Amino acid sequence: MKQNIMQKVKIPTTYLNLSYYLNKYVHELPAPPLDPKTKQPIGPAALARLFPMELIKQEVTLDEFVPIPDEVRELYAMYRPSPLLRAKRLEEALGTPAEIYFKYEGVSSVGSHKLNTALAQAYYNKREGVGMLTTETGAGQWGSALALACKLFDLKCKVFMVKSSYEQKPYRKTVMHLYGADVSASPSRETQAGRSFLAKDPHTPGSLGMAISEAIEVAATTDGAHYALGSVLNHVMLHQSIIGLEAKEQLAREGAYPDVIVGCCGGGSNLAGVSFAFLADKISGKKPNLRVVAVEPDACPSLTKGEYRYDSGDTAGMTPMLKMYTVGSDFVPSPIHAGGLRYHGDSPLISFLYYKKLIEAVAYGQREVFEAAQLFAQTEGIIPAPESAHAIQQVIVEAKRAKEEGKKKVILFNLSGHGLLDLGAYEEFLSGRMKG
């Protein structure tokens, strides 16, 4: 078997919509977003100030497939299809009978899976005549992706980067600047929301909830501007489904199908991307024994320790109220290096799947995650982003379990980004200074 089998498949022409399967087979969908003022289901008109109408339609569609625009698909060809790789050396190091496969999204132009939705969002906004997009970013992967997508579609881009990551990962800021984006540490003094957060705690490390508030405020008060979100919402999960669609065909051509799928989970785009095409089989009864495991940091354990309830998607309460697992919109996680996982809530779709026990969730501390990342780097040669390293930790647990049980299992995970701009975190780990 060839280790890199990406050449055997074509880029999908459609995204897969998991809501179709939930509606058809579970006969239930996640509770709708609510207007934060009226607490009633929010309508398209209220969202149109922030999002283009096509994305609003994608947010609620029950169609099984949504076409990928030709212009977006052409840009995907810069890096898609992404490779599906067999981690044979990791298998050998663990002495496991399990077969470990990973989809490697770090080959994208910006080094992560985030470009899959950034290109689509920039395209739909440009088509609607928008001139500027604002956003938040944690570790900077999403901000980098949107910065490039905006440049490709001739849009201005304003990014609020969570302060702890802004200080930990200076070169991610450089990448965004290189692509032409304007980047500020959040909370900033540029917005009313940012100033209010700083008034409460001048030394706050920031949070994704705070950065979202700032980005929305700028979008809502700037003519010709819209807001773009890198995770959580249904249309983002939809765009990321391209990962699993490719992986499904790649594995099928090798006569394999996963027993376990693992993905790190902050807002949910990584996990949704690799798993939704396969969860469609589980929900429809074709593969009832498939296990899907979400992995989160114990510094921000929204699924494993949060409550399933309506909550704001941002700290200032500007977003629609979403029914999700949450540790509270005012929660400020410790400044761990997996900045992309420091979100207080989860995608309503991911939360619904967990509530219905269609997926599982675990949480790990930072040091054990970096130990797993080091083993992966030493066996497979790829330095993973700290977010993806959470998935690797659970993959190792699953592989050892297969060894104990003497069972040959197929494990699939999403290596959603490289860690070449996270070397400061790895240096802290190797020196023994890392906490948690």
Give Cα 21 to chain centroid, integer Å. Answer: 21
436, part of any domain? no
**Alpha carbons 137 and 147: distance in angstroms, whole number:** 11
Distance CA 19, CA 25 (A): 10
Query: How confident is the prediction along the chain (436 residues), in pLDDT tens digits per residue?
Result: 345 554 568 999 999 999 999 999 999 999 999 998 899 999 898 899 999 999 999 999 999 999 999 999 999 999 999 999 999 999 999 999 999 999 999 999 999 999 999 999 999 999 999 999 999 998 889 999 999 999 999 999 999 999 998 998 899 999 999 999 999 999 999 999 999 999 999 999 998 889 999 999 999 999 999 999 999 999 999 999 999 999 999 999 999 999 999 999 999 999 999 999 999 999 999 999 999 999 999 999 999 999 999 999 888 888 899 999 999 988 887 877 766 787 899 999 999 999 999 999 999 999 999 999 999 999 999 999 999 999 999 999 999 999 999 999 999 999 999 989 989 899 999 998 887 7
Asked if residue 110 lies in contact with residue 141, where contact means CB atoms within 8 angstroms, the answer is yes
Q: Is residue 162 situated within a structural domain? A: no
Q: Does the pTM of the predicted model rise above 0.85?
A: yes
Q: Is residue 65 part of a domain?
A: no
Beta bridge partners of 294: 263, 361
- CA proximity to 342, closest of 159, 172, 197, 208: 208
Does 24 reside within a domain? no
Whole domain around residue 356: which residue ranges? Answer: 6-12+70-111+234-431
d(C-alpha 366, C-alpha 344), whole Å: 17
The burial of 27, by beta-carbon neighbours within 10 Å (0-12 exposed, 13-18 middle, 19 or more buried), is given as: exposed
Say if 303 falls within a structural domain: yes
CATH code, domain carrying 383: 3.40.50.1100
Q: Is residue 219 part of a domain?
A: no
The reply to whether 254 falls in a domain is: yes
Q: Is residue 261 part of a domain?
A: yes
Number of domains in the chain: 1
- Rounded to 10 degrees, the C-alpha dihedral 44/45/46/51 comes to 70
Rounded distance between C-alpha atoms, residue 145 and residue 117, angstroms: 9
